[in-house]
Structure 1
Amino acid sequence: MIAINNLTFEIGARALYDEANWHIKPGDKVGLIGANGTGKTTLLRMIVGEYTPTSGTISMAKDIKIGYLNQDLLSYESEKSILHVAMEAFERQNQLHTEIENLLKKMETDYSEELINKLSDKQSEFEALDGYSIEYRAHEILAGLGFDDEQQTRKLSEFSGGWRMRVMLARILLQAPDILLLDEPTNHLDLPSIKWLETYLQAFEGAIVIVSHDRYFLDRVINKTVESRKGKLTLYAGNYSFYLEEKALRNEIQAGQFKNQQAKIKQEERLIERFRAKASKAKMAQSRIKALERMDRVDDVDDDNPTVNFSFKFSKQSGRHVVRMEHITKSYPGVPILSNANGVIEKGDKIALIGANGKGKSTLLRIIANADKDFTGKTETGHNVSTTFFAQHQLEALHLENEILQELQAFAPKHTETELRSILGCFLFTGDDAFKKIRVLSGGEKSRVALAKALTADANFLILDEPTNHLDIQSVNILIQALQQFEGTLITVSHDRYFLDSVANKIWYIENQEIKEYPGTYQEYEEWQSKRPVVKEKQTVQVQPKKEESKKVVPAVNEVADRNKQLQKLNKELESLEQKVTKLEEELAAIEKVLADQVIYNNPSKLKETNDQYNRKKGELAEHQTKWEILAEEILVLGN
C-alpha cells in the first residue's frame, strides 16, 4: 500500500531519519509512537508529500486516497454551516447535485431529448454514488462527534478551534479514504466522542496510522505499533500494551547480550595486555586486536522511562475537609450548569471530574478554585488549605524572557537549584535545556514548564484542568508518577483515561445539574456505568405546548429571542476582543524586535522604558485572552 525504503530526512546537521524502512499494508491499524522530536508528524507530512526526504523513497499507488488530520486544520475558515463543511467531503456528489439542479432549471423551458438523457445520466451516477444519503451520513458522523441538530446548522466560524477540528475530522471520515493519517485525533475530543471514534475506527475497513499520546485509545484501535526512535522505525506486531511487553523482553535480551559481550571484550583486552610485550605472542596479540576492532558492538539499553526522583514539599497539612460546597447554582444565560448542587472534597481525595464538553467541568473547577464567584450558594475552604490551580491559559503567564530554571526559581525560592534541576529533568529538560528561554519553547514544552511550576508550589491541594494536553506518553507517565507520590489532595479534568485510572481514587460527574460521586477508580466506574440503566437528563429546552395551552408560547418565543439577542451581543464583544488581542500581539512582536537589537542596551533609560512597556502590554494581553476564553465558553454554552 505504502512502502518506505531507506528513508533519510535531515534538518541541518541532524538526521531525523536515517535509512528507515516501513511497509504499510491494507487493513493495517498502526500506532506511530515515540518521544516528542523524533519526527512522527514529519513522517506523516512526508507521506502526503508536504516534505521531501533527503534520500530514500516513499512509494504508493497513484490512485490511493489519503485522509490526513493535522493540527494545521485549526486555521480553516468558512462562513458556511458545519454540516455544509462536512459535506464538502463528497466532491463528486456535490458537483453532480449542482449539475442536476441546473438541468432541472433548464428543463422548465427546454424539453429536448438530449437534455433529458443528460439528466438521466447524471441522476444515475448520483444514485450510484449514494448521493441521496450523504446528508444523513454527515449528520450521523457529526452527531457522533458531539454536534446536536441545532449546532450542525451554525457557521463554522462561530466555533472555537477544538470544535472546528472535530468538523475537519468529520469531513475526513466522510471521504472514506483508503488510509487515514491521524495526528493526535483525541486532543480536542471529550470522553463520549473519543469512545465513538474508537468504535468507528475499529470498524473502518481501510488502513490507519495514528499518532497519539492516549494509551487507552491506541490499545482499542490499533493492531500494530511502530516506534520512531534514533532515526529508525521499529515494528511491533500488536497494540500499545503488546509493544510495552515486547519491548521490555527485547531490552532484556539486548541487556544480556551487551553484558556478555562486555565480559568477552574485557577478557580479550586482558589477554592482549598479557601477550603484547612477549615477542613470541606479539602476532597473536595483533590478531586479537583486529578481531576486537571488527566486532559488531551491541549497544547498552537506554532508559526511555525516566522516573520521578523528587518528593513534594508543603509546609502544612490541611484539615480533614478541604472544600465544602453547599446549594451551588450556576448558569449561563438560558443554560443551567449546576442547580442546588452539593459536594465535599476531603483530605487525601484524588478526584477525576469527567463528562462531556459543555457539562460544566471547567466551570466547577473555577468555582472550587475561587476563580469564579458568579454563582449562588456557598463554598468553604478548609483549615490550612493551600491551593495551586493549573489551567491551559496559565501557559500565557510564563515570563517569556526568563530561562526555564529562572522561571522555577522565581516561583519556588525555597527549593535548591539541585532540586529544581531534578524536577526539570523529570519533565525532560536535561543539561543545558534548563537555560532555554521560555519564548523559544513549543506549546508542549511550555505546558511541561507550567506543570513543573505547579508541582513545586507549596500547595497541599492541586486543581488541574486538562494537564495532559500537549504531553507525550513519556511526560504523561512522569506526571502520573509525581501525582501518585503526592500526599495531598487533588481534583483533575482530563480526557486521558489511562491518566485518570492511574491517579484517581474517586470519580465525580455532573448529572441533572448535580455533582455525583463514584467511590472508586476510573476503570471501576466504567464497569459500573456500563451496567447502569440510562439516566434521563432534565430537559433544559422549552417543550412545544398543546393547542389549549397556546398562550404559553409567548414566553418561549421571548426566551429564544432574548437568547439570540444575548448571543449577538456576546459575539460582538468577542469580535472586539479578538481585534484587541491581535493588535496587542503585533505590538509585542514589534517591542521584541527592539529588545533583540543590541543598540538599546547602550541606553539604560530607554531599555527600562521599553521593558516597562513590554511588561504592561504583556499583562494587557493575558487579561484580554482570559476574557476571551470566558466569553467564548459563554457563547458556546448559550448556543447549545
Structure 2
Amino acid sequence: MISINDLTFLIGSRALYDEANWHIKPGDRVGLIGANGTGKSTLLKIIVGEYAPTSGTVSMSKDLKIGYLNQDLLSYDSHLPILNVAMEAFERQNQLQKEIDELLKQMETDYSDDILQKLSNKQEEFSALDGYNIEYKTNEVLAGLGFSTEDQLRPLNTFSGGWRMRVMLAKILLQDPDILLLDEPTNHMDLPSIKWLETYLQSFEGAIVIVSHDRYFLDKIVNRIVESRKGKLTSYAGNYSFYLEEKALRSEIQRGEFKNQQAKIKQEERLIERFKAKASKAKMAQSRIKALDKLERVEDVDDDNPTVNFSFKFTKTSGRHVVRLENVTKSYPNVDILDNAEATIEKGDKIALIGANGKGKSTLLRIIAGTETFKGKVETGHNVTTTFFAQHQLESLHLDNSILEELQAFAPKHSDTELRSLLGCFLFTGDDVFKKIRVLSGGEKSRVALAKSLTTDSNFLILDEPTNHLDIQSVNILIQALQQYEGTFISVSHDRYFLDSVANKIWFIEEEKIKEYPGTYAEFEVWNSKRVIPPSKSIPVVPTKKEEKKPVNTNADNKQQLKKLNQDLSKLESLIEELEKAIKEKEAEMADPEIFNNQDKLSLINNAYISDKSALEKAQQDWETLAEEIMNLEA
C-alpha cells in the first residue's frame, strides 16, 4: 500500500529520521507514537508529499486515495454552513448535481433528444454514486461528532478551532479514502464524540494511521504500534497495551545482552592489557583489538519513563469541607446549565468532571473557582487555598521571564534541582529551561503553566483539560504527580486513561443537576452502561409523563407503571412501523423518473425522507430505553 524505504529527513544538521523503514499494508490499523519532537506529524507530511525526504523513498500506487487530518486544517475558513463544507467531500456527486441542474434549466427551452440523453446519463451516474443520500450521510457524521441540526446550518467561520477541526474530520471521513492519516483526531473532542469516532473507525474498511496521545483510543482502534524513536521506526504487533508489555520484554532482553557484552568487552580489554607488552603475545593482542573495534555494540536501554522526584509542599491543611455549592443556577441565552444544583467537595476528593461539550463542565469549574457569575451560593471551607489551571491561564505567564525564572518566582520553596527535574518531565531539558516565555509555542506555554500549577502551595487544584498538548510520557508524569498529591482536586479531561488513573469520584451534569458516582472512571462506565438514562429535553417522539418517585413501591404501583410503559411501547412500535412504511414510500418516489426529473419535488421528498430517517432512529432509541425499563420492573 505504502512503502517507506531508507528514509532520511534532516532538519538543519539533525536527522529526524535516519534510514528508517516502514511498510503499511491494506487493513493495517496503526498507532504512530513517540515523544513530542520525534517527527510523527512530519512523517505524515512526508507520506502525503508536503515534505520531501532528504534521501530514501516513499512509494505508493497512483490511485491510492488518502484522507489526511492535520492541525493545519484549522486555518481553513468559509462562510458556508458546515453542512455544505462537509458535503464538499462528495466532489463527483456535487459536480453531477450542478450539471443536472444546468441541463434541467436548458430543458425549459430545449427538449431535444441530446439534452434528454445527457440528463438521463448524469442522473443514472448520480444515482449509482448514491447522490440522493449524501446529505443524509453528512447529517449522520456531523451529528456523531456532536453537531446539532441547528449547528449544521451555521457558517464554519462562527465556530472555534476545535469545532472546525471536527468539520474537517467529517469531510475526510465522508470521502471514504483507502487510508486515513489522522494527526491527533481526538484533540478538542468530548467523550461522547470520541466514543462515536471509535465506533466509526472500528467499522472502517481501509487502512488507518493514527497519531494520538490517548491510550484508550489507541487500544480500541489499532492492531499495530509503530514507535518513532532516535530516527528509526520500530513496529510492534498489537494495540498500545500489548506494545507496553512487548517493549518491556524487548528492553529486558536488550539490557541482558548489553550487560553480557560489557562483561565480555572488559574481559577482552584485560587480556589485551595483560599481553600487549609481551612480544610473543603482541600479534594475538592486536587481533583482539581489531575484533573489539569491529564488534557491533549493543546499546543500553534508555529509561523512557521518567518519574516525579519532587514533593508537593503546602503549608495549610484544609478543613473537611473544601467547597459547598447550594442552589446554584446558571444559564446562557437559549442554554440552561444548572438549576438549583447542589454538591459538596470533601477533603481528599479526586474528582473527574465528565460529559459532552456544552453541558457546562468548564462553566462549573469557573463557578467553583469564583470567576463566573451565577445565582446561588458557593462556600469555600476553612484554610482552603486554590489554584485554577485553564488554557487562559497562559496569559498570566510573564513573557520576559525564562521558564526556570517563572517557576522560581512562583515556587521559592522548591530547589532549582527540583524545578529543573519537573521541567525535564514536561520536555524542557538542558538549556531549554533558559528560553524566554515569549518565544514558546502555545503547547509549550501550556506545559509551563501546568508545571507551575504543580509547584503551588495550594491544597485544592481546579484543572481544566490539563492533558491538552501533553504526550503520553508527560501525561504519565502528571498522573504520578496527582497520585502523590495529598490535597483535593477536580479535573475536566477527555483522556480516559488519565481520569481512570487519578479520580476516586465522578461528577456529571444531568437534568441541570450535579450528579456524583463514588468510584473510578472504569467503574462509572460499567455502571453507566447499565442504567436507564433520563430522556433528553430535545423533541421526544412519544411524550412520556415523568413518574414521581414514591417512598414505597408496592406491587400495585409496579403493575400500574408497567401498564403505562407497555402502552407507550405499543405507541412507539406503531410509530416505528409507520415511519418504516413512509421511508419505503419515499425511496420509491425518489426512484420514480417523473419525480426524479423534477428538482423541486425531489428536494421536498428528500428532505422529508431525511426527517423520517432521523425520527425513526430516535423512535428506535426510545423503544430500547422503554424496553430496558420494563425488563427492570419485571425482574
Match of 2:416 in 1: 417
Question: How far apart are residue 377 of structure 1 and its match?
Answer: 0.8
Match of 2:622 in 1: none
Q: How does 1:491-570 map to 2 (within 5 A)?
A: 491-538=490-537
Match of 2:34 in 1: 34
Match of 2:481 in 1: 482
Match of 2:607 in 1: none
Is residue 258–residue 298 contact of structure 2 (8 Å, CA) maintained in 1? yes
Q: Which amino acid aligns with 1:125?
A: E
**In structure 2, C-alpha distance between the alignment counterparts of 1:21 and 1:261, rounded to whole Å:** 27
Report the 3-state secondary structure (helix = DSSP H, G, I; strand = E; otherwise coil) of the residue aligned with 1:225. Answer: strand
Match of 1:74 in 2: 74
Match of 1:431 in 2: 430
Q: How does 1:221-370 map to 2 (within 5 A)?
A: 221-370=221-370
Report the 3-state secondary structure (helix = DSSP H, G, I; strand = E; otherwise coil) of the residue aligned with 1:428. Answer: coil
Q: Give a deviation string over 1:199-249, Cα, whole Å, max 9, x none.
A: 000000011100000000000001111000000001111111111110000
**In structure 2, C-alpha distance between the alignment counterparts of 1:351 and 1:389, rounded to whole Å:** 14
**In structure 1, C-alpha distance between the alignment counterparts of 2:148 and 2:221, rounded to whole Å:** 26
Question: How far apart are residue 444 of structure 1 and its match?
Answer: 2.2
Q: How does 1:113-132 map to 2 (within 5 A)?
A: 113-132=113-132
Q: Give a deviation string over 1:159-218, Cα, whole Å, max 9, x none.
A: 111111110000000000011000000002100000000000000001110000000000
Which segments of 5 or more consecutive residues in structure 2 lack a partner in the other structure?
544-635
Match of 2:553 in 1: none
Match of 1:388 in 2: 387
Q: Which amino acid aligns with 2:47?
A: I
Q: Which amino acid aligns with 1:443?
A: G
Deviates more, 1:434-443 or 1:36-45: 434-443
Report the 3-state secondary structure (helix = DSSP H, G, I; strand = E; otherwise coil) of the residue aligned with 2:264. Answer: helix
Question: How far apart are residue 287 of structure 1 and its match?
Answer: 1.2
Deviates more, 1:53-62 or 1:280-289: 280-289
Give the number of equivalent residue pairs: 542
Is residue 511–residue 537 contact of structure 1 (8 Å, CA) maintained in 2? no
Match of 1:572 in 2: none
Is residue 68–residue 180 contact of structure 1 (8 Å, CA) maintained in 2? yes
**In structure 2, C-alpha distance between the alignment counterparts of 1:12 and 1:409, rounded to whole Å:** 33
**In structure 2, C-alpha distance between the alignment counterparts of 1:18 and 1:418, rounded to whole Å:** 34
Is residue 335–residue 540 contact of structure 1 (8 Å, CA) maintained in 2? no
Q: How does 1:167-206 map to 2 (within 5 A)?
A: 167-206=167-206
**In structure 2, C-alpha distance between the alignment counterparts of 1:76 and 1:290, rounded to whole Å:** 60
Q: Which amino acid aligns with 2:50?
A: E
Match of 1:459 in 2: 458
Root mean square deviation, CA, Å? 1.3
Do residues 112 (structure 1) and 112 (structure 2) align?
yes
Match of 2:50 in 1: 50
Report the 3-state secondary structure (helix = DSSP H, G, I; strand = E; otherwise coil) of the residue aligned with 1:515. Answer: strand
Q: Give a deviation string over 1:67-91, Cα, whole Å, max 9, x none.
A: 1101111111111111000000000
Is residue 89–residue 175 contact of structure 1 (8 Å, CA) maintained in 2? yes
Distance 1:540 1:359, change over 3 A: farther
**In structure 2, C-alpha distance between the alignment counterparts of 1:236 and 1:444, rounded to whole Å:** 29
Do residues 469 (structure 1) and 468 (structure 2) align?
yes
**In structure 1, C-alpha distance between the alignment counterparts of 2:538 and 2:189, rounded to whole Å:** 24
Question: How far apart are residue 538 of structure 1 and its match?
Answer: 4.0
**In structure 2, C-alpha distance between the alignment counterparts of 1:49 and 1:401, rounded to whole Å:** 39
Q: Give a deviation string over 1:21-52, Cα, whole Å, max 9, x none.
A: 00000111100000000000000001111000
**In structure 2, C-alpha distance between the alignment counterparts of 1:88 and 1:182, rounded to whole Å:** 19
Question: How far apart are residue 419 of structure 1 and its match?
Answer: 2.1
Question: How far apart are residue 448 of structure 1 and its match?
Answer: 1.3
Q: Which amino acid aligns with 2:369?
A: A
Report the 3-state secondary structure (helix = DSSP H, G, I; strand = E; otherwise coil) of the residue aligned with 1:537. Answer: coil
Match of 1:218 in 2: 218
**In structure 2, C-alpha distance between the alignment counterparts of 1:180 and 1:418, rounded to whole Å:** 44
Match of 2:151 in 1: 151
Report the 3-state secondary structure (helix = DSSP H, G, I; strand = E; otherwise coil) of the residue aligned with 1:30. Answer: strand
Question: How far apart are residue 440 of structure 1 and its match?
Answer: 2.3
Q: Which amino acid aligns with 1:501?
A: D
Report the 3-state secondary structure (helix = DSSP H, G, I; strand = E; otherwise coil) of the residue aligned with 2:150. Answer: helix
Q: Give a deviation string over 1:370-389, Cα, whole Å, max 9, x none.
A: 111x2111110000000000
Question: How far apart are residue 266 of structure 1 and its match?
Answer: 0.6
Report the 3-state secondary structure (helix = DSSP H, G, I; strand = E; otherwise coil) of the residue aligned with 1:149. Answer: coil
Report the 3-state secondary structure (helix = DSSP H, G, I; strand = E; otherwise coil) of the residue aligned with 2:379. Answer: strand
Which segments of 5 or more consecutive residues in structure 1 lack a partner in the other structure?
545-640
**In structure 1, C-alpha distance between the alignment counterparts of 2:467 and 2:333, rounded to whole Å:** 31
Q: Could you tell me the TM-score, scaled by structure 2's length?
A: 0.84
**In structure 1, C-alpha distance between the alignment counterparts of 2:415 and 2:9, rounded to whole Å:** 41
Deviates more, 1:348-357 or 1:391-400: 391-400
**In structure 2, C-alpha distance between the alignment counterparts of 1:92 and 1:538, rounded to whole Å:** 39
Deviates more, 1:205-214 or 1:267-276: 267-276
Q: Which amino acid aligns with 1:334?
A: N
**In structure 2, C-alpha distance between the alignment counterparts of 1:444 and 1:250, rounded to whole Å:** 32
Report the 3-state secondary structure (helix = DSSP H, G, I; strand = E; otherwise coil) of the residue aligned with 1:177. Answer: coil
Is residue 506–residue 516 contact of structure 2 (8 Å, CA) maintained in 1? yes
**In structure 2, C-alpha distance between the alignment counterparts of 1:319 and 1:188, rounded to whole Å:** 35
**In structure 1, C-alpha distance between the alignment counterparts of 2:439 and 2:473, rounded to whole Å:** 21
Question: How far apart are residue 539 of structure 1 and its match?
Answer: 5.5
**In structure 2, C-alpha distance between the alignment counterparts of 1:492 and 1:138, rounded to whole Å:** 34
Report the 3-state secondary structure (helix = DSSP H, G, I; strand = E; otherwise coil) of the residue aligned with 2:225. Answer: strand
**In structure 2, C-alpha distance between the alignment counterparts of 1:123 and 1:536, rounded to whole Å:** 42
Q: Which amino acid aligns with 2:380?
A: T
Match of 2:5 in 1: 5
Q: Which amino acid aligns with 1:321?
A: H
Report the 3-state secondary structure (helix = DSSP H, G, I; strand = E; otherwise coil) of the residue aligned with 2:351. Answer: strand
Q: Which amino acid aligns with 1:358?
A: G
Report the 3-state secondary structure (helix = DSSP H, G, I; strand = E; otherwise coil) of the residue aligned with 1:126. Answer: helix
Question: How far apart are residue 294 of structure 1 and its match?
Answer: 0.9
**In structure 2, C-alpha distance between the alignment counterparts of 1:166 and 1:316, rounded to whole Å:** 44
Q: Could you tell me the TM-score, scaled by structure 1's length?
A: 0.84
Q: Give a deviation string over 1:388-414, Cα, whole Å, max 9, x none.
A: 000011122212221110111111122
Match of 1:88 in 2: 88
**In structure 1, C-alpha distance between the alignment counterparts of 2:29 and 2:538, rounded to whole Å:** 40
Report the 3-state secondary structure (helix = DSSP H, G, I; strand = E; otherwise coil) of the residue aligned with 1:447. Answer: helix
**In structure 2, C-alpha distance between the alignment counterparts of 1:438 and 1:228, rounded to whole Å:** 28
Question: How far apart are residue 534 of structure 1 and its match?
Answer: 2.5
**In structure 2, C-alpha distance between the alignment counterparts of 1:334 and 1:86, rounded to whole Å:** 26
Question: How far apart are residue 540 of structure 1 and its match?
Answer: 9.4
Q: Which amino acid aligns with 1:276?
A: K
Q: Which amino acid aligns with 1:60?
A: M
Q: Which amino acid aligns with 1:362?
A: S
Is residue 309–residue 418 contact of structure 2 (8 Å, CA) maintained in 1? no
Aligned-residue identity in percent? 80
Match of 1:625 in 2: none
**In structure 2, C-alpha distance between the alignment counterparts of 1:29 and 1:209, rounded to whole Å:** 6
Q: Which amino acid aligns with 2:381?
A: G
Is residue 67–residue 179 contact of structure 2 (8 Å, CA) maintained in 1? yes
Q: Give a deviation string over 1:526-569, Cα, whole Å, max 9, x none.
A: 0001111122134599x99xxxxxxxxxxxxxxxxxxxxxxxxx
**In structure 1, C-alpha distance between the alignment counterparts of 2:430 and 2:108, rounded to whole Å:** 77
**In structure 1, C-alpha distance between the alignment counterparts of 2:114 and 2:248, rounded to whole Å:** 70
Report the 3-state secondary structure (helix = DSSP H, G, I; strand = E; otherwise coil) of the residue aligned with 1:358. Answer: coil
Match of 1:583 in 2: none
Question: How far apart are residue 54 of structure 1 and its match?
Answer: 0.3
**In structure 1, C-alpha distance between the alignment counterparts of 2:433 and 2:105, rounded to whole Å:** 69
**In structure 2, C-alpha distance between the alignment counterparts of 1:417 and 1:19, rounded to whole Å:** 39
Is residue 35–residue 472 contact of structure 1 (8 Å, CA) maintained in 2? yes
